[in-house]
Amino acid sequence: MAATPEPAGPRSDDVPWLDPAEKEAWTGLVSLILLLPGRLEAPLQRESGLTLFEYLVLSHVSEAPERRLRMSELAFMANGSLSRLSNVVKRFEQRGWMERSPDPGDGRYTIAALTDAGYEVVVAAAPVHVRAVRQAALDRLDAADQAALARVAEKLRVRPVDLA
């Protein structure tokens, strides 16, 4: 395999360019980042009327104790900003799927709680999502590949404060 050419134009000598193995790893990752959301969202949109982000919000709350989560934790789990999450939860409140309230343990936080109606929505959408996850990724991997993927994802997934 030919060496990766260095970019034309201004460059900084303190930037270590990607070697061929790093470039292969990076281009593989970025292609998955761009490919998977569409493959996971299309069936949800078609069959449940939900975006992938909306499904993840409902799903994470449905799996939490008492179907309740702090908004800040939910934003991290669903990979969205608090403002994006607030807009989605507001729509869910209007549909009767979620309710928000101050955290009784610490009033600085807001709790998002899934209603029974919201739980019914996520239960109905879950098979659609799981089928898409299996088709797009997991059924193509053996147990060792799945474990490796989980390890890599854990290493790459950081909270915003970890990046400072």
Other C-beta atoms closer than 10 Å to the C-beta of 126 total: 15
CA atoms of 136 and 124, how far apart (whole Å): 20
Render pLDDT for 102-160 as a digit per residue (tens, 0 to 9): 998 888 999 999 999 999 999 999 999 999 999 999 999 999 999 999 999 988 887 55
Task: Please indicate, yes or no, if residue 13 is contained in any of the structural domains.
Answer: no
Render pLDDT for 1-57 as a digit per residue (tens, 0 to 9): 555 555 555 556 788 999 999 999 999 999 999 999 999 999 999 999 999 999 999
The count of structural domains within the chain is: 1
Task: Please indicate, yes or no, if residue 10 is contained in any of the structural domains.
Answer: no
Return the amino acid letter for 1: M
Task: Please indicate, yes or no, if residue 31 is contained in any of the structural domains.
Answer: no
**What's residue 68's pLDDT?**
96
Task: Please indicate, yes or no, if residue 37 is contained in any of the structural domains.
Answer: no
CATH, residue 146 = 1.10.10.10
The residue range of the domain holding 83 is 47-159
CA atoms of 73 and 122, how far apart (whole Å): 19
Tell which residue, 161, 158, 163, 148, has the closest CA to residue 28.
Answer: 148
Task: Please indicate, yes or no, if residue 128 is contained in any of the structural domains.
Answer: yes
pTM, rounded to two decimals: 0.82
CA atoms of 31 and 37, how far apart (whole Å): 11
